[in-house]
């Protein structure tokens, strides 16, 4: 320690070098500890749980029996929920993109001095709890609510048609809840585009539509990829929206996992969790490769 | 500025008049809110010429360029290309291309794709060969597969040029194209641009705040200030016979001395400067009577010992005192304080044939009458002086 306190120019070079190298590791330590305790250890626990003997119970205890059959059984039993999760999340992502892109575009390029206010409005829903907002949708979409009345009046819905407790309500809830996660990265990406790029496209005979397709859209691709991932991933694992806006017919994989954990069937729940994680990871990698936005990884 | 470069510049207009139509701005005005960026601008750019719009930042030159490109719509006035009115034509429908300041290359496209962007939008066939030819013209053969970020500033500049030229525009607009380059590269690109312009024979309209750049490259220079053209002409004419104090100061340096015109007889006018009579050729006097600025360029003036005989064709201002001497190698710069307190600048070539002076020497200033010019005293004698502009880009 006394050596380390000596002025740098007197200390042998190797010591100075060594100390500098240790500083880096020391700075990494809190983060590394955090990740170990809260990510690596739980992940190991989750994977080992998924390999428990499926006949174990809270009373009899659980054993790691390398029961890979848990995965096969879980998938065989619950593939419709997997499938539904991916479709709902995919639809929600698509709608969020269709709504979010024009929003982000308008905020980035057309809002002028309203820009900051509009950004705050995008984030404003977060000031209230996720649960409360989803519960509010339950009221809005209720059978006796104004929205259903109106849709019945204009004959979009039949006389006994309803919105609540349908797939549409679940997808709507997902879209609504994850929209800010789409808009913000899109905005960040669009806002960075040098306006002269768009002028240059126009100068080089690109009509506004061509300019958008050839210049604005490709340059906003990092935002599109980030936004769709930030929407799709949490939406695929969500269970609150089905819980509040759907019925057992709309059950997503998140609901199953939650239910199984609640019922003490840890091996199945863990196997489903790991499967969902691996599926999403594989899809993300393929997606990022195909859109050529590897630098996001 | 060498005479050699000048000869080539003039050759250009002869060589290239074959292509297309003149660009004409008729009383074009552009206002942003209450600010008038361009004020009833009248400008004709002959087809095939290398035309420079020169002025300090904020003088309206870039706005003018953007109105020709269609990126800005004039508040009043019309833009013509030949007989065709293009004022309201959208940018992607104009036969005009721009080399943007900082180039605006598409970062997500390769060099080839950048260059092919214009032709592809116009559905032209056999684009690949033409891209290769363009890259050859700007000496970037073999760089086609790279991305803009992998190229140096000078190379990106040439890509921007190729990307615009491949469309064979009737007018090529260059917005401070060399502004981001270092001095050495800038000199090199000036020559390069001139060569390419001679090669392709397209009208170049070049916006710059660098007077040397404008004079080296352009056949015709229009000096802009506060939204209007102060003076337009070939660089020699502008330099030797400035029409306003702004041009006299912005293009090189000038000594402007207050005087009043006392005689307008014949082809020489006489101006009285504090008792000394100076003569000005009639063609170089911008006012006929009253108070004037008498002007002379510093390199036209000789410093001499008091009372030396210089012949009758000269203007002589006696009684100066040398207040500063700076030796710059090629020349020596003297500051000479006149009896009325004004300091005049003199550049003397270090030919070795002339006497040198030291601070506090009493001297006469002498120059040939035909190098004198005469401007309206109502104008600000310090308009366009570089010191005021040195902080601007």
Question: CA-CA distance, B88 to B94, in Å (whole number)?
Answer: 10
Summarize the confidence of residues B21-26 as an average pLDDT: 93
User: Which residues in chain A are contacts of B93 at CB distance < 8 A?
Assistant: 205
**Residues of A with CB below 8 A from B63's CB?**
none
Q: What is the mean pLDDT of chain B?
A: 88
A194 touches chain B (CB under 8 A): yes
What are the E-state strand segments in chain B?
A: 23-32, 35-45, 50-54, 76-81, 84-85, 96-99, 171-175, 203-208, 220-225, 228-233, 255-263, 268-273, 276-281, 290-296, 302-305, 314-327, 331-337, 343-349, 362-368, 373-376
Of B7, B94, B59, residue with least CA distance to B384: B59
Q: Where are the alpha helices (DSSP H) in chain A?
A: 2-5, 13-35, 41-50, 69-105, 115-123, 130-140, 146-153, 167-191, 195-203, 208-211, 217-219, 221-237, 240-245, 253-262, 266-291
Higher pLDDT, B374 or B265: B374
**pLDDT at residue A18, as a whole number:** 62
Mean of all residue pLDDT scores within chain A? 88
Q: Which segments of chain B does DSSP mark as H helices, in order?
A: 3-16, 61-69, 111-121, 127-137, 153-165, 183-200, 211-217, 235-240, 245-250, 386-389
Q: In what order do the strands lie in the sheet with B290-296?
A: B276-281, B268-273, B255-263, B290-296, B373-376
State percent of chain A over pLDDT 90: 67
Min distance A207 CA to chain B CA atoms (Å): 6
User: Between A197, A202, A215, which is nearest B91 by CB?
Assistant: A202
| Residue B312: partners with Cβ closer than 8 Å, 6 or more residues away | none
Tokens at B6, concatenated: 């000048």
The whole-number average pLDDT for the span A129-150 is 92
Task: Give A117→chain B minimum CA distance, Å.
Answer: 24
> What is the average per-residue pLDDT within B272-287?
89
pLDDT band at A52 (very low <50, low <70, confident <90, very high): confident
B50-54 and B220-225 strand pairing:
parallel
pLDDT of res. A211: 95
Q: Closest partner residue to B69 among A203, A205, A210, by Cβ?
A: A203
Q: Is residue A106 predicted with pLDDT exceeding 90?
A: yes
Q: What is the mean pLDDT of residues B254-262?
A: 92
B13 band by pLDDT with thresholds 50, 70 and 90: very low
pLDDT digits (tens, 9 = 90+) for B119-133: 999 998 889 999 999
Separation of alpha carbons A187 and A108, rounded Å? 6
Contact A201 B122 (CB under 8 A): no
A11: pLDDT strictly greater than 60: no
Is ipTM beyond 0.90? no
Which of B97, B104, B121 is opposite residue A196, by nearest beta carbon? Answer: B104
Q: What is the pLDDT of residue A175?
A: 97
CA dist A119 and B230 (Å) reads: 47
Residue B94, token pair as written in the block: 């104009």
CB A47 within 8 A of CB A36: no
Q: What is the pLDDT of residues A236-260, one digit of tens each?
A: 999 999 999 999 899 999 999 999 9
Mean pLDDT of B94-102: 93
Higher pLDDT, B314 or B307: B314
Sheet of strand B96-99, all strands in order from the earlier edge strand to the far edge:
B96-99, B171-175, B203-208, B50-54, B220-225, B228-233
Confidence of residue B90 (pLDDT cuts 50, 70, 90): very high
HSE at residue B26, side-chain half, CA atoms within 13 A, is 12
The token pair that represents B391 in the structure block: 């902080």
* pLDDT at residue B141 in the model: 93
Chain B: give the shortest CA distance to residue A218, in Å.
7
The gap between the terminal CA atoms of chain B, to the nearest Å, is 22
Is B123 at the interface with chain A, CB within 8 A?
Answer: no
Q: Average pLDDT of B23-29?
A: 95
| pLDDT in the model for residue B1 | 36
Of A203, A215, A218, the CB nearest to B98: A203
Residue B386: pLDDT band (50, 70, 90) is: low
Q: What is the pLDDT of residue B31?
A: 95
Q: Does A202 touch chain B (CB under 8 A)?
A: yes
pLDDT value of residue B188: 86
- Spatial CB neighbours of B3, under 8 Å, sequence gap ≥ 6: none
| The pLDDT of residue A57 is above 90 | no
Confidence of residue A13 (pLDDT cuts 50, 70, 90): low
Average pLDDT rounded to a whole number, residues A114-126:
94
Among B106, B116, B119, pick the best mutation site for testing chain A contact (most A Cβ within 10 A).
B106
Whether A203 has a pLDDT exceeding 60, the answer reads yes
Closest CA to A174 of A255, A91, A80: A91
Q: What is the dihedral of CA A188, A194, A195, A201, to 10 degrees?
A: -120
The distance of B211 to chain A (nearest Cα, Å) reads 26
pLDDT at B387 over 70: no
Between residues 218 and 247 of chain A, which touch chain B (CB distance below 8 Å)? 218-219, 221
Chain A contact present for B102, CB below 8 A: yes
- The pLDDT of residue A264 is 81
Residue with tokens 């209450």: B34
Report the residue of chain A nearest B68, measured CA to CA: A203
Quote the pLDDT of residue A1: 40
* Most confident of the following: A286-295, B230-239, B286-295: B230-239
Distance from CA of A190 to the nearest CA of B (A): 14
Closest CA to A277 of A81, A65, A82, A53: A82
Q: Is the pLDDT of residue B245 over 60?
A: yes
**pLDDT at residue A116, as a whole number:** 94
Cβ–Cβ below 8 Å for A197 and B97: no
pLDDT score recorded for residue B17: 40
Which of A265 and B15 is assigned the larger pLDDT? A265
Q: What is the DSSP string of B234-259?
A: -HHHHHHS-SSHHHHHHSS--EEEEE
pLDDT over threshold 70, residue B7: no
Using the predicted structure, report yes or no on whether residue A76 has a pLDDT greater than 60: yes
DSSP-based three-state secondary structure for A101: helix
């Amino acid at each position: 320690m006394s050596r380390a306190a000596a002025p740098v120019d007197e200390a042998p070079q190797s010591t100075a070098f060594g100390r500098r190298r240790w500083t880096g590791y020391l700075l990494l330590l809190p983060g590394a500890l955090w990740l170990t305790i809260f990510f690596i250890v739980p992940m190991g626990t989750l994977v080992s749980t998924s390999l428990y003997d499926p006949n174990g119970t809270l009373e009899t205890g659980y054993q790691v029996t390398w029961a890979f059959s848990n995965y096969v059984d879980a998938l065989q039993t619950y593939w419709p929920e997997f499938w539904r999760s991916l479709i709902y999340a995919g639809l929600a992502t698509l709608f969020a993109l269709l709504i979010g892109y024009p929003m982000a575009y308008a905020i980035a390029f057309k809002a002028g001095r309203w820009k900051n206010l509009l950004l705050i409005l995008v984030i404003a829903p977060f000031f209230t709890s996720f649960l409360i907002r989803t519960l509010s949708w339950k009221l809005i979409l209720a059978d006796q609510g104004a929205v259903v009345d109106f849709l019945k009046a204009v004959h979009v819905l039949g006389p006994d048609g309803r919105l609540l407790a349908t797939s549409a309500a679940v997808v709507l809830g997902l879209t609504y809840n994850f929209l800010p996660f789409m808009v913000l990265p899109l905005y960040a990406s669009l806002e960075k585009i040098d306006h002269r790029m768009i002028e240059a496209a126009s100068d080089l005979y690109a009509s506004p539509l061509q300019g958008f397709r050839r210049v604005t859209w490709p340059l906003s691709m990092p935002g599109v990829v980030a936004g769709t991932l930030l929407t799709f991933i949490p939406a695929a694992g969500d269970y609150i929206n089905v819980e509040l806006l759907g019925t057992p017919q709309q059950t997503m994989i998140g609901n199953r996992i939650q239910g199984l954990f609640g019922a003490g069937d840890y091996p199945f729940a863990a196997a489903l969790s790991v499967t969902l994680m691996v599926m999403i990871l594989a899809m993300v990698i393929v997606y990022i490769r195909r859109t050529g936005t590897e630098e996001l990884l | 500025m060498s005479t050699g470069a000048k000869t080539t510049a003039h050759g250009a207009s002869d060589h290239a008049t074959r292509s297309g139509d003149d660009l004409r701005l008729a009383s074009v005005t552009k206002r942003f809110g209450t600010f008038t960026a361009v004020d009833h601008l009248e400008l004709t750019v002959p087809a095939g010429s290398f035309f420079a719009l020169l002025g300090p930042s904020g003088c309206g030159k870039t706005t003018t360029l953007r109105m020709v490109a269609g990126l800005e719509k004039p508040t009043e006035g019309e833009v013509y290309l030949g007989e065709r009115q293009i004022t309201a034509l959208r940018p992607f429908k104009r036969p005009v291309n721009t080399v943007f300041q900082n180039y605006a290359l598409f970062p997500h496209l390769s060099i080839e794709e950048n260059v092919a962007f214009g032709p592809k939008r116009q559905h032209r066939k056999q684009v690949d060969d033409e891209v290769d030819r363009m890259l050859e013209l700007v000496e970037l053969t073999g760089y086609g597969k790279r991305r803009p970020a992998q190229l140096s500033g000078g190379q990106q500049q040439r890509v921007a040029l190729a990307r615009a030229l491949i469309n064979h525009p009737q007018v090529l607009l260059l917005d401070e194209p060399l502004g981001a380059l270092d001095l050495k590269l800038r000199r090199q690109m000036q020559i390069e641009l001139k060569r390419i312009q001679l090669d392709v024979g397209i009208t170049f309209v070049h916006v710059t705040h660098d007077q040397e750049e404008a004079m080296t490259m352009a056949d015709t220079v229009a000096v802009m200030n506060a939204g209007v053209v102060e003076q337009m002409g070939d660089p020699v004419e502008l330099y030797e016979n400035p029409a306003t104090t702004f041009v006299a100061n912005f293009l090189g340096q000038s000594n402007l001395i207050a005087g009043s015109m006392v005689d307008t007889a014949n082809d020489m006018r006489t101006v009285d400067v504090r008792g000394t009579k100076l003569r000005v050729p009639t063609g170089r006097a911008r006012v006929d009577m009253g108070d004037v600025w008498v002007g002379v360029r510093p390199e036209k003036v000789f410093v001499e010992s008091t009372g030396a005989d210089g012949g009758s064709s000269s203007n002589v201002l006696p009684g100066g005192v040398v207040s500063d001497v700076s030796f710059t190698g090629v020349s020596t710069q003297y500051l000479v304080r006149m009896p009325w307190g004004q300091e005049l600048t003199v550049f003397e070539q270090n030919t070795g044939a002339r006497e040198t002076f030291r601070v506090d020497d009493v001297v006469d200033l002498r120059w040939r009458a035909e190098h004198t010019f005469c401007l309206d005293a109502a104008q600000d004698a310090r308009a366009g002086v570089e010191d005021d502009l040195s902080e601007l880009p």
